[in-house]
Amino acid sequence: MATVQELRCRECKRTYPVGPIHVCEFCFGPLEPVYDYAAIAAAISRERIEAGPRTLWRYADLLPVGDAQRVDLGAGCTPLVKAGRLAAELGIGALYLKNDMANPTHSFKDRVVTVALTAARAMGFTTVSCASTGNLANSVAAHAARVGLNAFVFIPADLEAAKVLTTAVFGATVVAVKGNYDQVNRLCSEIAQTRRWGFVNVNLRPFYSEGSKTMAFETVEQLGWTAPDHVVVPAASGSLLTKIHRGLGELHAVGLLDEQPATSIHLAQPLGCSPITAAVQNGTDTIRPVKPNTIAKSLAIGNPADGYYAAKIVRQTGGRAESATDDEIIDGIRLLATTEGLFTETAGGVTIACLAKMAAAGAFGPGDTVVALITGMGLKTAEALTGQVGPTMQIQPELEAFDEALALMDEG
Ligand SMILES: [Zn+2]
């Protein structure tokens, strides 16, 4: 079912035919797909979704691409983990973790890329591209390889080694740019005007970003078709947060939820790149761009494209915005690992550190259901833990040596 009729400007509401465009020609506002919710409501049901594939494509009715030429590595339907030990540690009643490390390339970016590349193929692109802080690069390269599309991936040259390796292995052309993400992104916008390439987060952005909604859809389905009271979302561009909000609203719009969800949406950023948190905390809509300086490189977007909208949603839904220092990010990674057995990347450390601060500040009621989004996996940013964790003891291969070392440890 081709559900998208046109693209519409979020600001001035002018509409455009479906195609590889992302900004309004009149006001430069972002374009979004327009769905016929009445028609979708007539066709969709909880039963139909539950009978669908064990991927995010079970929500195809609410995605902006058709069934043909799907680019699919199996993204979505990741576990929603009840986190009892972490909840007890933080004093939260009911805490769940949406574990998007379980995606094919181990981050939530597989959700947006599977949708973006499906749109790219439908529009006849043979080369796809992106500006990336790492996870998106991995995902674009892998999905492109799956269907034989050419991939050009642009990254800041100082990216974590693991993220470069896990992109290059798929055969993508990896362009390391001597600059920060915002400079890489600007370069990609210029290239997009001179080459007929499908840039997933430039000219395909209206399609790409819609994939993020599936994280909200799955969470509600996994909670037995109930919206959570709180969601804690890490933010770089702010796009994921706006799409969680849109996704929750759409579930009501198509009749899958009886009431409009009253979920409070909270935002987490690293202190070294926290322009959206700063805006929320200062009570302003104006996002002041910053020069990122943080170990959470996947969140290091100093000039966030959707920051204005994300800040507005946090305020409207009664959410909070927090930030975490580099040390707190490391503590967050270790806390999650030692309480729940999940090793997340630095962005996940930001989420857990900010979740802890929100809990301590009384953001969550005792009976509330809280969901934190864990968007990427720890092996990709392992160097952030260098010198922080290692062998507990080092011994000669002899029983006595072990007994002695253990006795010393017990004393310590
Ligand atoms: Zn407009």
Confidence check: pLDDT of 175 > 60: yes
Examine the pLDDT at 282 and tell me if it is beyond 70: yes
Consecutive H or E run containing 109: helix 109-122
Segment 69-91, tens digit of pLDDT: 899 999 999 999 999 999 999 99
Cα 13 to middle of ligand 1, angstroms: 6
CA–centroid distance, 75 to ligand 1, in Å, is: 32
Contact between 121 and 71 (Cβ < 8 Å): yes
- The burial class, CB within 10 Å (0-12 / 13-18 / 19+), for 392 is exposed
Ligand 1 centroid – CA 18 distance (Å): 15
Phi, psi of 53 (to 5 degrees): -65, 155
| Tens-digit pLDDT profile for residues 107-150 | 999 999 999 999 999 999 999 999 998 999 999 999 999 999 99
Q: Which pLDDT score, from 0 to 100, does residue 230 have?
A: 98
pLDDT of residue 1: 41
Mean pLDDT of 359-384: 95
Token couple for 109: 């970016």
Phi-psi group of 6: left, alpha or beta (phi > 0 → left; psi -120 to 50 → alpha; rest → beta): beta
Predicted confidence (pLDDT) at residue 339 exceeds the cutoff of 90: yes
Going 368 to 373 to 377 to 380, the CA torsion angle's sign is negative
Distances in Å between the alpha carbon of 228 and those of 19, 126, 231, 232, 260? 35, 40, 7, 11, 12
- Taking the centre of ligand 1 as the mean of its atom positions, its distance from the CA of residue 28, in whole angstroms, is 6
| Averaged pLDDT of the chain | 95
Neighbours of ion ligand 1 (CB under 5 A): 9, 11-12, 14, 24, 26-27, 29
CA of 206 to the centre of ligand 1 (A): 14
Tell me, in angstroms, the distance from the centre of ligand 1 to residue 22's CA: 11
Q: 93 CA to middle of ligand 1, Å?
A: 43
